[in-house]
Structure formats: structure tokens, C-alpha cells
């Protein structure tokens, strides 16, 4: 991203939830099918068997479609943590860099976590005002 990293406040992140929901509704079935294909290919007695070419081709096509969809989100400054719908938004809370986090199915961005804590360390957003507005607010 030009000019450095993008930071979001809670309102900005929440404005993107409808787009995220639509994107992952489209992508999640592709992710599931690509995983099925990877499992089938991994379980094949001879993974290089030419008869598996169509499965490899389908998997590769799905992976490209998934990458294409998620790249658009990354170009907006979002960090995709899981192709099944786990997204982090960089934010400032006090003097600390943190992530606002959203998971597919959540109606809004309602949690945050420290940069190194990950999803397991997420905490509820008690006051949206704790997260600094950005130049885009």
C-alpha cells in the first residue's frame, strides 16, 4: 500500500462488514472444495498419477479464484488470517498497535487483540472511542 500501513477505527472497519460477508459467502465454498481436492490428491497412492490431472487443475483454478478475491481485500489494507473468513484490521489503541478482528458470520467488528495474540486472545471492544480515527474518518 502506498504511503505505509492502513489503520482503521471501529466505524471504518464496520463499514466493510457487508463487503466481507458477500466476499466470504462467495469464497468459502471454493475454499472447502479446494481442501477436499487437496485431501484427495494427498491420499492418492501415486500423487503424480496423470489421471489426477483434472483434480489438480480444478484445485489450482479454485486457488487462483480465491487469491484473486482476497487480494482485493488486502489491497484495501485488510489482513486475511483465514481464507474461510478471518480478517484483521490494524488499529491504534492508546499508543499501541492492535488488530480489530472479524470472523465470517459476525454481524459487526466487536473484538480486538494485540498484534501477537491472535484470535484466541481477542477481547470485546468496550468503547469504540478507544481506537484512534484515521485520516479517512
In a domain, 99, yes or no: no
In a domain, 37, yes or no: yes
Tell me what pLDDT residue 136 has: 53
Q: Which of 118, 91, 81 is nearest to 14 (CA)?
A: 91
Question: How many domains are contained in the chain?
Answer: 1
Cβ burial of 37 (10 Å; 0-12, 13-18, 19+) is buried
The rounded mean pLDDT for the chain is: 90
In a domain, 55, yes or no: yes
In a domain, 102, yes or no: no
In a domain, 68, yes or no: yes
41-74 pLDDT, tens digit per residue, is 988 888 677 889 999 999 999 999 999 999 999 9
In a domain, 48, yes or no: yes
Q: Which segment of 35-44, 87-96, 127-136 scores lowest on mean pLDDT?
A: 127-136
14-37 pLDDT, tens digit per residue, is 999 999 999 999 999 999 999 999
In a domain, 59, yes or no: yes
Residue 124 pLDDT > 90: yes
Q: Greater confidence, 123 or 95?
A: 123
Stretch 107-118: mean pLDDT? 93
**Residue 30's domain spans which residues?**
23-77
Amino acid at each position: 500500500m502506498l504511503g505505509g500501513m492502513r489503520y482503521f477505527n471501529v466505524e471504518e472497519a464496520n463499514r466493510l462488514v457487508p463487503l466481507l460477508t458477500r466476499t466470504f459467502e462467495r469464497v468459502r465454498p471454493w475454499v472447502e472444495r479446494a481442501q477436499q481436492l487437496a485431501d484427495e490428491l494427498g491420499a492418492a497412492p501415486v500423487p503424480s498419477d496423470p489421471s489426477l490431472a483434472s483434480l489438480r487443475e480444478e484445485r489450482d483454478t479454485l486457488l487462483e479464484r480465491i487469491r484473486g478475491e482476497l487480494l482485493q481485500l488486502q489491497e484495501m489494507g485488510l489482513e486475511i488470517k483465514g481464507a474461510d473468513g478471518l480478517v484483521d484490521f490494524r488499529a491504534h489503541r492508546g499508543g499501541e498497535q492492535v488488530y480489530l478482528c472479524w470472523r465470517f458470520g459476525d454481524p459487526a467488528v466487536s473484538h480486538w487483540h494485540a498484534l501477537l495474540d491472535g484470535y484466541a486472545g481477542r477481547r470485546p471492544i468496550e468503547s469504540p472511542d478507544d481506537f484512534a480515527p484515521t485520516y479517512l474518518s
